[in-house]
Amino acid sequence: MSVLLNRTKSFICTKSFCKSLLVRNYSDVPKKFKTFDEVIAQRREEARRSLVVQVNSESSFNELYNYCSTHATVKDVHHYKNFNDEHFMLMEFASEDNVKEVLQTCCFHQKDADIMASKSPFVWFRATPGNKNKYEATTKSLAVKDGNNKVDEDELFGNLMECHTVSDQIQMLYDKTKLNDVGIRLRFMLARQLEVMMSSLYANIAIYPFGSSVNGFGKMGCDLDLVLTNNVNYELLDTNRRLVYQEKKCEGGRSPWQRHMELVGTLLELRVAGAARVQKILNARVPIVKYSHELTSLDCDLCYNNMSGVYMSELLWLLGERDQRVRPLTFAVRRWARTVSLTNPHPGRWITNFPLTLMVLFFLQQRRHDGFILPSFNKLVAAAGKDDIRIAEESVNCTFLRDLNKLPADSSRSEDNLETLLYHFFEYYAQFDFQEKAISIVEGVPIRKPNSLPLYIVNPLEQALNVSRNVSFEECERLKMEVRNAAWHLEAVLDGKKTEDWGLLGLLEKQSTRGVKKLLRVGHNHRLVSVKDLFAEDEEPKRKTDQQIDAS
């Protein structure tokens, strides 16, 4: 019964949601764009004013709120649970001083009291037994906002079934699965936690999230990429100052930063609350430390000074901001690629989400019958001013226009809807000459391939590099086959046929489960069939291992 009620509820929501989409207009909506730097600075500032407090249950909130309110002004509260079903409150205060005042009242676990204790913005609230009801009336005005959990797959597919058009399905998938505000806040809290710990050892350290956590293409539960870098303080480099700190000269042959990252890994093991399963991968071109953060259930990759990765995230974010169709379309493509096992959570000879995203951006740069959707990267470079100059490590020039308000509006912006775009995306790559041509968002048109690698996608910031150099011939062939299959599937919808697996459903459903699902539907109202088991997204893919590929 409750399932039916939930379904009915979601059906009603879906209908009104879809109605709102019918009037969607894709042409230039005058909008004041924030820059990436502004967004990041605001999130970092928010993290400095926040604490993550572990509580016994959601009902501890009132007591916690009252406790904090006697020391500070609570601005906002979010509740979430980690994978161990432990409860946390992400508390945002009015000022950094507020956080300091609350932390002044903190103590250490008894057993850590000597030399082991370390301070961090992750704390634990000791509730007083029997105090829960005492605070009930005081906090009515401040609603606790829930959520760091992935959307329920059953609910998602139920909603997708109810949509009227494929465009609505694509928009629904995006709205329901994109990284939400709590997810973003927690990622910045993790960066803050490391910064607090490391600033006692390093004078100018800054830690930034990058990749899908900030580029606008992240889904709920995506991994957290972190970069550790120098926050250059020019005052401290003033050559007129008389007193200079003694320099620490690193001895030994290995690169100092390899050794610093080794230390960071050890500090994560010994000093960072919640950090577990630390892995140090120090011989890679970019040394990296991987760890799981148990208090937030996030998997993190921390690297050193990879600023070109941050600027790349900025570029992707900008192009996503430029047109409201870019992110929903990319979500549909990324999710489809995962379903057909073109992408895989483990590194290997297959394409990953980042080059796949460049393929979507490139497609949107192609001329359509009624205009373009995205400008080429060259246009952003040509429009750059003095403030946009950025040089990353190893002299990589990352200069391009940062302020989208300065980019002239396109006189002819394509009005194609998401359904048409998704179909044409598959059709475009079904016909693409992968043998001779490279994909390059720099020019926005196919260019001649400089070598015979099966898939060539130009890195826009280091144009001599191919971001899909790892992709094998076999995987590229599968990519070509899958885009053809997807185009055929969508063609049927464009022809007006609405089969059981119409639209996105047929693209996001694993082929191995298709037969099972049909059986389940016989004699049932399909809205009541549980699809959870059939669409389990993170099921281990059945595919060849590297060794098997080598052997063949």
**DSSP characters for 160-225?**
HHH-SSHHHHHHHHHHHHB--HHHHHHHHHHHHHHHHHHTTT-TTEEEEEEGGGTSS--BTT--EE
According to CB under 6 A, which residues from 285 to 304 bind ligand GTP?
none
Query: Shortest CA distance to 482 belongs to which of 449, 446, 511?
Result: 511
According to the binding rule CB under 5 A, does residue 314 interact with Mg ion? no
According to the binding rule CB under 6 A, does residue 275 interact with ligand GTP? no
Cβ proximity of 124 and 54 under 8 Å: yes
According to the binding rule CB under 5 A, does residue 310 interact with Mg ion? no
According to the binding rule CB under 6 A, does residue 180 interact with ligand GTP? no
Query: Shortest CA distance to 322 belongs to which of 371, 375, 369?
Result: 375
Residue selected from 211, 216, 320, 375 as contacting Mg ion according to rule CB under 5 A? 211
Which x/- pattern, by CB under 5 A, does the window 80-109 give for Mg ion? ------------------------------
Distance separating alpha carbons of residues 91 and 77, to the nearest angstrom: 5
Distance separating alpha carbons of residues 499 and 340, to the nearest angstrom: 20
According to the binding rule CB under 6 A, does residue 177 interact with ligand GTP? no
Q: Binding-site residue total for ligand GTP (CB under 6 A)?
A: 18
Distance from the Cα of residue 275 to its chain's centroid: 20
The CB-of-221 to ligand GTP minimum distance in angstroms stands at 9
According to the binding rule CB under 6 A, does residue 468 interact with ligand GTP? no
Give which of ligand GTP, Mg ion, none residue 172 binds (C-beta under 5 to 8 Å, depending on kind). Answer: none
According to the binding rule CB under 6 A, does residue 183 interact with ligand GTP? no
Candidate ranges 116-124, 135-143, 220-228, 422-430; the one touching ligand GTP (CB under 6 A): 220-228
The CB-of-460 to ligand GTP minimum distance in angstroms stands at 8
Distance separating alpha carbons of residues 259 and 265, to the nearest angstrom: 10
**Three-state secondary-structure class, residue 56:** coil
93-98 LR contacts (CB < 8 Å, sep 24+): 93/49, 93/50, 93/51, 93/68, 94/49, 95/49, 96/48, 96/49, 98/49, 98/71, 98/72, 98/73
Query: Shortest CA distance to 454 belongs to which of 437, 480, 435, 482?
Result: 435
Which x/- pattern, by CB under 5 A, does the window 441-470 give for Mg ion? ------------------------------
**249 phi and psi angles, rounded to 5 deg:** -90, 125
The CB-of-441 to ligand GTP minimum distance in angstroms stands at 13
According to the binding rule CB under 6 A, does residue 459 interact with ligand GTP? yes
Cβ proximity of 309 and 211 under 8 Å: yes
Residue 120 or 212 with smaller CB distance to Mg ion: 212
The CB-of-284 to Mg ion minimum distance in angstroms stands at 15
Residue 120 or 468 with smaller CB distance to ligand GTP: 468
Which residue, judged by CB position, is nearest to ligand GTP in the bound state?
211
According to the binding rule CB under 6 A, does residue 313 interact with ligand GTP? yes
Residue selected from 60, 98, 180, 212 as contacting ligand GTP according to rule CB under 6 A? 212
According to CB under 6 A, which residues from 361 to 400 bind ligand GTP?
none
Residue 362 or 423 with smaller CB distance to ligand GTP: 362
According to the binding rule CB under 6 A, does residue 262 interact with ligand GTP? no
Give which of ligand GTP, Mg ion, none residue 177 binds (C-beta under 5 to 8 Å, depending on kind). Answer: none
The CB-of-227 to ligand GTP minimum distance in angstroms stands at 9
Determine the angle formed by the axes of helices 2-22 and 153-162, rounding to 10 degrees: 50
Residue selected from 155, 181, 223, 443 as contacting ligand GTP according to rule CB under 6 A? 223
**DSSP characters for 384-435?**
--GGG--EEGGGEE------GGGSPPPSSB----HHHHHHHHHHHHHS--TT
**21 phi and psi angles, rounded to 5 deg:** -75, -25
Give which of Mg ion, ligand GTP, none residue 459 binds (C-beta under 5 to 8 Å, depending on kind). Answer: ligand GTP
CA angle, 363 as apex, 348 and 310 as ends, to 5°? 55
Residue 158 or 309 with smaller CB distance to ligand GTP: 309
Alpha helices in 199-301 (DSSP H): 256-271
According to the binding rule CB under 6 A, does residue 211 interact with ligand GTP? yes
Residue selected from 225, 416, 419, 482 as contacting Mg ion according to rule CB under 5 A? 225
Residue 288 or 295 with smaller CB distance to ligand GTP: 288
The CB-of-343 to ligand GTP minimum distance in angstroms stands at 7
Distance separating alpha carbons of residues 73 and 475, to the nearest angstrom: 55
**DSSP characters for 460-511?**
SSSTT-BTTTT--HHHHHHHHHHHHHHHHHHHHHHTT---TTTTHHHHHS-H
According to the binding rule CB under 6 A, does residue 330 interact with ligand GTP? no
The CB-of-258 to ligand GTP minimum distance in angstroms stands at 20
Residue 89 or 467 with smaller CB distance to ligand GTP: 467
Distance separating alpha carbons of residues 462 and 204, to the nearest angstrom: 27
According to the binding rule CB under 6 A, does residue 353 interact with ligand GTP? yes
Distance separating alpha carbons of residues 216 and 209, to the nearest angstrom: 12
Distance separating alpha carbons of residues 342 and 511, to the nearest angstrom: 13
According to the binding rule CB under 6 A, does residue 312 interact with ligand GTP? yes
Q: What are the angstrom distances between the C-alpha of 317 and each of 40, 324, 357, 375, 513? A: 11, 12, 11, 14, 35
According to the binding rule CB under 6 A, does residue 423 interact with ligand GTP? no
Cβ proximity of 122 and 103 under 8 Å: no
Distance separating alpha carbons of residues 333 and 317, to the nearest angstrom: 17
Residue selected from 139, 167, 308, 414 as contacting ligand GTP according to rule CB under 6 A? 308
CA angle, 33 as apex, 211 and 318 as ends, to 5°? 30
Give which of ligand GTP, Mg ion, none residue 461 binds (C-beta under 5 to 8 Å, depending on kind). Answer: ligand GTP
Give which of ligand GTP, Mg ion, none residue 61 binds (C-beta under 5 to 8 Å, depending on kind). Answer: none
Residue 158 or 211 with smaller CB distance to ligand GTP: 211
| Residues lying near Mg ion in the complex (CB under 5 A) | 211-212, 223, 225
| Residues lying near ligand GTP in the complex (CB under 6 A) | 210-212, 215, 218, 222-223, 225, 308-309, 312-313, 352-354, 459, 461, 467
